[in-house]
Amino acid sequence: MTSLAAPMLEEVIVTGQKRSESTQDTPVAITGMTSDSLEKFGFASANDISAQVPNMQVSGPFGEVQPIFAIRGVSMSDYSSNQASPIGVYSDESYMGAVYTHGMNFFDVERLEVLRGPQGTLYGKNTTGGAINIITKTPMLDDGLHVNAKLGAGNYDSRVGDLGIEGTLIDETLAARIAYSFSRNSGYTENRSGGPNLSSIDFQALRLTLNWQISDNLNNVLKITHGQNDSLANASRNEPRGNLNGGDGLLGVGGIVTGSLAQGDDSSGYIDNTGYSASSKNLGHHEVEDNFTGPLVVNSDMLVNKLEFVGENHTFTSISSISISDYAQQQNTDGSPEGLLEIRWSVDTEAFSQDLRISSNYDGMFNFIGGVYYAVEKMDMHNEYAIYATPPDVRVAITYPGATGFYPYLLDYGQLDQKMITDKTSYAAYTQLRFDISANFGIDFGIRYTVDEIDLSYLNISREGYDGSPRGTYVPGNTTQNDEPFVPLNLAGNAGIVELDVFLENLLSGQVTLEDLLATGQVGYTHGPYTTDSSKPLSAKEQEFTGKLGFDYRFSDDFMM
């Protein structure tokens, strides 16, 4: 094969290191895909990323709007809406903290970047596994009128479409783009108990982008995105673990307790705690008997403004972001027509972030990036857990002998009503230095200092009857026993915090050595959220130094290590 006929590797320009570079010149494990590549791959949602990125998996237990990312085995272990993913997701350089919005901006994409491994220096917290950059399309100035449209149809009454229109509004000054995307289907899981199919999709989103060239050196890009999802949630699978082997004398009595077993023993030897067994119902892989699963509703509004001044040797960049989103899901967690565990999740999130940075473009061996970052987030969560609306089957005495003493208590347990409000504030300063020792050998050194504050301003976990009547509270000090805030007198303080000026003084005086830093340093961290298991501290403050030291050597044009 001659050199003229040899295939050429497409050069992809990425901004994974906060500056424009070819993927071939970026000394990190990064996969970059352009819009043309994404089109060829048939990219339609976040769930399609892992097919083109090594060491990455994507799952969607809560539908396409809330993908769960895993990079190099690092992922979430708790999928609650108030948890943070260790894979940071960024839309046009703005951090998307609410995990239920991670799938809302994957449309009209110009470029997609996946960075594998800890990215704590330039990206900050919640990137211990890696980071995903979604770069959406920006209209070009004086480039004429462009229209792109795509429609598709498939099984399960599937319909998808994308539309984009862009053009120049003011010559050499202002260009605009409007993009719309939708995806719908009727659901692929049949509910044998009646009603519409579950696991459906009903998503649509709209984005307005304005590209304003203020002067020769100053540019401003504003992007406003609205997305909404109103699908029916994925169905849960009922896989009972209660083994009835050896209990022949009692088989069938469950019919007098739960309606599902009125015909006697049809459990195939295994039941859940209500006596139901999906394995005995001759259900197909995409069939369920479901009495509760309902809508999965997500609304997301996001504004990102990028102001950039490009000088001869320096670039000054400001990234401002505001996001408002809400999430509600009704899930039949037990996967049966009985009332073992039925959950309503809901959360409202408001967030603001500001990133200011400067990067150099020197001709010599040295370049740098430095910046400061500020972010606030307020999350208002309300969950309801209905437990044992169907009384336990008496055969639980066989499958779980230790549960016999709890039987009277579970007959009228009711539901848990959980409410909490968390306020998160984050400050950071960071820098990364690049030394090109030779044409083939380079060194990166980076450090980031972060202060995180998390306040639990409201917490209550009440027990209620199935009709909503109060049964008491699980929060000490709540004397009303129903939905009242709990603020103890001994609010946790900030003991043990070492301020930055004290740390620097200790470092310069030799009290803190390089060995101390290396022994306790981190390449990244994930902030600790509040859950029902960790609700005692109502205020927490954490300071982190994250660092990076990297060496790279280019052996050839195609291989760098």
Q: What is the pLDDT of residue 209?
A: 98
Amino acid identity, position 402: G
Which is higher by pLDDT, 491 or 20?
A: 20
Average pLDDT over residues 520-543: 55
Confidence at 50, pLDDT banded by 50, 70, 90: confident
Query: Pick from 217, 32, 451: which is nearest to 41 by CA?
Result: 32
pLDDT tens, residue by residue, 281-302: 889 999 999 999 999 999 999 9
Confidence at 240, pLDDT banded by 50, 70, 90: confident
In this predicted structure, the answer to whether residue 180 has a pLDDT above a threshold of 90 is yes
Q: What is the pLDDT of residue 280?
A: 85
Q: What is the pLDDT of residue 217?
A: 97
Which is higher by pLDDT, 107 or 124?
A: 107
In this predicted structure, the answer to whether residue 555 has a pLDDT above a threshold of 50 is yes
Does residue 557 lie in a domain region?
no
Query: Pick from 72, 91, 94, 85: which is nearest to 125 by CA?
Result: 85
In this predicted structure, the answer to whether residue 246 has a pLDDT above a threshold of 90 is no
> For residues 236 and 231, what is the distance between their CA atoms, to the nearest angstrom?
15
Does residue 119 lie in a domain region?
yes
Quote the mean pLDDT of the chain.
82
> For residues 308 and 532, what is the distance between their CA atoms, to the nearest angstrom?
43
> Poorest-confidence range of 197-206, 370-379, 487-496, 538-547?
487-496
Question: What CATH number corresponds to the domain at position 48?
Answer: 2.170.130.10
Which is higher by pLDDT, 153 or 412?
A: 153
Average pLDDT over residues 21-48: 83
In this predicted structure, the answer to whether residue 339 has a pLDDT above a threshold of 70 is yes
> Poorest-confidence range of 244-258, 282-296, 453-467?
244-258
Which is higher by pLDDT, 111 or 409?
A: 111
**Other residues' Cβ atoms within 10 Å of the Cβ of residue 95:** 24
Q: What is the pLDDT of residue 208?
A: 98
> For residues 212 and 557, what is the distance between their CA atoms, to the nearest angstrom?
37
Which is higher by pLDDT, 121 or 320?
A: 320
Which is higher by pLDDT, 363 or 540?
A: 363
Q: Specify which of 208-222, 231-245, 276-290, 429-443 reaches the highest per-range mean pLDDT.
A: 208-222
In this predicted structure, the answer to whether residue 312 has a pLDDT above a threshold of 80 is yes
In this predicted structure, the answer to whether residue 524 has a pLDDT above a threshold of 70 is no
CB within 8 Å of 300: residues ≥ 6 apart: 101, 104, 105, 225, 226, 227, 228, 323, 324, 325
Confidence at 531, pLDDT banded by 50, 70, 90: very low
Does residue 275 lie in a domain region?
no
Does residue 274 lie in a domain region?
no
Which is higher by pLDDT, 123 or 229?
A: 229
Q: What is the pLDDT of residue 504?
A: 52
Which is higher by pLDDT, 364 or 487?
A: 364
Does residue 537 lie in a domain region?
no
Confidence at 343, pLDDT banded by 50, 70, 90: very high
Does residue 60 lie in a domain region?
yes
Average pLDDT over residues 78-83: 71
Does residue 69 lie in a domain region?
yes
Residue range(s) defining the domain that contains residue 108? 13-136
> For residues 266 and 283, what is the distance between their CA atoms, to the nearest angstrom?
13
> For residues 194 and 293, what is the distance between their CA atoms, to the nearest angstrom?
12
Output Rg (C-alpha) for the chain, integer angstroms.
27
Does residue 100 lie in a domain region?
yes
In this predicted structure, the answer to whether residue 126 has a pLDDT above a threshold of 90 is no
Q: Are 488 and 477 in contact (CB under 8 A)?
A: yes
pLDDT tens, residue by residue, 129-150: 999 999 999 999 999 999 999 9
What is the tally of structural domains in the chain? 1
Q: What is the pLDDT of residue 400?
A: 79
Q: What is the pLDDT of residue 332?
A: 93
In 333-440, beta strands by DSSP E? 341-360, 366-387, 414-436
CB within 8 Å of 15: residues ≥ 6 apart: 21, 93, 113, 133, 135
Q: Are 452 and 544 in contact (CB under 8 A)?
A: yes
Q: What is the pLDDT of residue 7?
A: 40
Q: Model-level pTM greater than 0.75?
A: yes
> For residues 33 and 28, what is the distance between their CA atoms, to the nearest angstrom?
15
Give Cα 482 distance to the centre of its chain: 32
